[in-house]
Amino acid sequence: MPYENEFAEYRSVRRLTENERVQNLLRRSKERGEKQDDPLLPTLTYSDIQPSQWKPELVLAIDGSYQQVLVEKGYPGAEIGYVTVASVLMDINKIRKLDEQRPVDPKSFRETENTSSIESVFPGCNIVIDNELSPVASLRKTLYETFLETKIFSDGETLLETYEVLLSYKSVDSLKCPHGDNCQSSNNKVSVKNGLHSCECRQKIALYSTDGLRIHEGMVPDSANGTMFMEIMQTFERILIIHILRWFEQKELLWLLKDMAIVVDGPLALFGDPAGLLLPVTKEIRRINEKTKKYTGGVDLLLVGVEKSGFFVNHFERIDQSKDGNNEKFLPQTVLLLNDEYIKKNIVFSDSKKRYGEQTYFGRKFFYKTASGARIVASIPFLEDFHQETNLAEPKQYPRLADALAIFDQLASSRFENAISPLISANAEAAIPMNLGARVLEEMAKRLIKDKQK
């Protein structure tokens, strides 16, 4: 990397182009899929799948945002991370009625949405809270307190209670002691238990059930921690799905899910350290779904993840373009169901015997071009073992696929390319403006930390 105001010269470029090892590697390299003109999968049209006459009454959208901020606290690079996750419930019936009376009054449209959100701040490198001895200990305490204090419904359980239900599904209940070199236990392992408890060694240092997420293991003590803050955001988003579904169960309202869709930003997956929750999340969604079907005449719940960016979004855009780049190949309401072979050969190269995403995904992907021409990359959860047989790609492996396509057709945005309106609303509630927002949060952090030091 150059120094500030230093401009690169061409000597390194000349050395690279003349280097025999570099030339040899380039000769051995080839771009994946460079000669492939058409997708290997057969395409389906909406009419090939029994079209849905379903019209949702409610759509719940979940989206999150995070922002890392540098603060002055005696140490260079001291940082904190702001994380916010919003859930927006849209009354689709009201929206349909408003559509009949265009132009729509903005105030009336806003009344079709109810919003709730989680806002919190987490210590990063060189930040400690209370009497904690390290940034890692401070993060662990803050994470536990946030779960303990957060609930979306005033008459529902806390996010911590939801998480600890998922924790009960895990067969492995021990992890490396989060106190690291300060641990005095014989094997440096601790048991993951509910709530706040103590280390079994003579120091009796605090342990938390949320240590089981292992997010603290990703903290970099002397560098930026954007990846860790992103994992916190992602964990909130995914556990929030379960949190909301469990509230419907506890209030005996599962019958409402027949006329409701839950849409979450990003794929139905858990990445990084929290990926250990994959099996618990899958099992709890299946359990709630089986119970839901008893109240809905056998109709599954409708949960969909929608991706804004990434390899799959880029791939869909590429294969929809003609060779000259001026025309689109796929007609509106075209569906592409992805199998494992196609993904590994054309999108994310892999020769692994395991199915793509086996350790991270609790749903499977598909492409859909809406009636308006928007390209949607989405995933639907594995609600049965058969849905996970990704050597196949059949409509029946995607529960409520036709209803999901109907949602996309009805709610595709005219304001933003390849987006649906509920997620736009959730993103608007959760998004932290990158420039002005960062400055406001930075100044607030500096002021509050300075006041604490007085």
> In this structure, is residue 194 part of a structural domain?
yes
For residue 400 the two structure tokens come to 């409520």
pLDDT over 50 at 438, yes or no: no
Put simply, whether the predicted model's pTM sits higher than 0.75 gets the answer yes
For position 4, what pLDDT does the model report? 46
At 439, the pLDDT band (50, 70, 90 cuts) reads: very low
> In this structure, is residue 384 part of a structural domain?
yes
Which of 99-108, 249-258, 298-307, 368-377 is predicted with the least confidence, judged by mean pLDDT?
Answer: 99-108
For position 437, what pLDDT does the model report? 39
Cα(423)–Cα(113) distance, integer angstroms: 12
> In this structure, is residue 22 part of a structural domain?
no
pLDDT over 90 at 368, yes or no: yes
Cα(138)–Cα(106) distance, integer angstroms: 44
Q: Are 244 and 60 in contact (CB under 8 A)?
A: yes
> In this structure, is residue 171 part of a structural domain?
yes
pLDDT over 80 at 241, yes or no: yes
Q: Are 68 and 229 in contact (CB under 8 A)?
A: yes
For residue 152, give every residue at least 6 positions away whose Cβ sits within 8 Å of its Cβ, in sequence order, or none: 87, 116, 118, 159, 240, 243, 244, 247
Pairing status of strand 58-70 against strand 363-369: unpaired
For position 425, what pLDDT does the model report? 76
Residue range 378-383: mean pLDDT, rounded: 96
pLDDT over 60 at 390, yes or no: yes
Greater confidence (138 vs 434) lies with: 138
Phi, psi dihedrals of residue 330, rounded to the nearest 5° = -95, 135
Pairing status of strand 260-265 against strand 58-70: parallel
Reported for 346-350, long-range contacts at CB under 8 A and 24+ positions apart, including other chains, are 346/32, 346/33, 346/36, 346/39, 346/40, 346/315, 347/311, 347/312, 347/315, 348/311, 349/32
What is the three-class DSSP state of 336? strand
Q: How far is CA 193 from the centre of its chain?
A: 26
pLDDT digits (tens, 9 = 90+) for 272-312: 989 999 999 999 999 999 999 999 999 999 999 999 899 99
Greater confidence (234 vs 122) lies with: 234
Cα(67)–Cα(40) distance, integer angstroms: 40
Cα(64)–Cα(66) distance, integer angstroms: 7
Q: What is the 3-state secondary structure (H, E, C) of 159-216?
A: HHHHHHHHHCCCCCCEEECCCHHHCCCCCCEEECCCCEEECCCCCCCEEEHHHHHCHH
Residues belonging to the chain: 454
- The total of other beta-carbon atoms located within 10 Å of residue 272's CB is 18
For residue 364 the two structure tokens come to 């499977």
Which of 31-35, 89-93, 116-120, 360-364 is predicted with the least confidence, judged by mean pLDDT?
Answer: 31-35
Residue range 59-75: mean pLDDT, rounded: 77
pLDDT digits (tens, 9 = 90+) for 33-49: 444 455 566 688 888 88
For residue 16 the two structure tokens come to 């690279």
pLDDT over 50 at 441, yes or no: no
Q: What Rg, from alpha-carbon coordinates, does the chain have?
A: 24
Is the link from the previous residue into 178 a cis peptide, with omega within 30 of 0?
Answer: no
DSSP 418: T
3-state DSSP percent of the chain in helix, strand and coil, to 5:
40, 20, 40
Q: In sequence order, what are the beta bridge partners of 44?
A: 335
Residue range 90-110: mean pLDDT, rounded: 66
Which of 93-107, 167-181, 239-253 is predicted with the least confidence, judged by mean pLDDT?
Answer: 93-107
Q: How far is CA 161 from CA 139, 235, 254, 263, 286, in A?
A: 19, 14, 20, 23, 19
> In this structure, is residue 395 part of a structural domain?
yes
Its domain, for residue 378, covers 44-453
Q: How far is CA 133 from the centre of its chain?
A: 31
Q: Tokens 């959730």 — which residue? A: 426
List the one residue out of 170, 118, 362, 151 whose CA is nearest residue 243. 151
For residue 10 the two structure tokens come to 């061409």
DSSP 412: B
> In this structure, is residue 30 part of a structural domain?
no
pLDDT digits (tens, 9 = 90+) for 113-158: 777 788 888 888 887 877 877 888 888 899 999 999 998 888 899 9
Q: Tokens 């859909």 — which residue? A: 368
Structurally, the chain folds into a number of domains equal to 1
> In this structure, is residue 191 part of a structural domain?
yes
> In this structure, is residue 7 part of a structural domain?
no
Which of 118-132, 334-348, 408-422 is predicted with the least confidence, judged by mean pLDDT?
Answer: 408-422
Q: How far is CA 305 from CA 358, 363, 370, 377, 380, in A?
A: 17, 8, 16, 8, 7
For position 109, what pLDDT does the model report? 55
For residue 321 the two structure tokens come to 């373009």
pLDDT digits (tens, 9 = 90+) for 171-180: 656 677 777 6
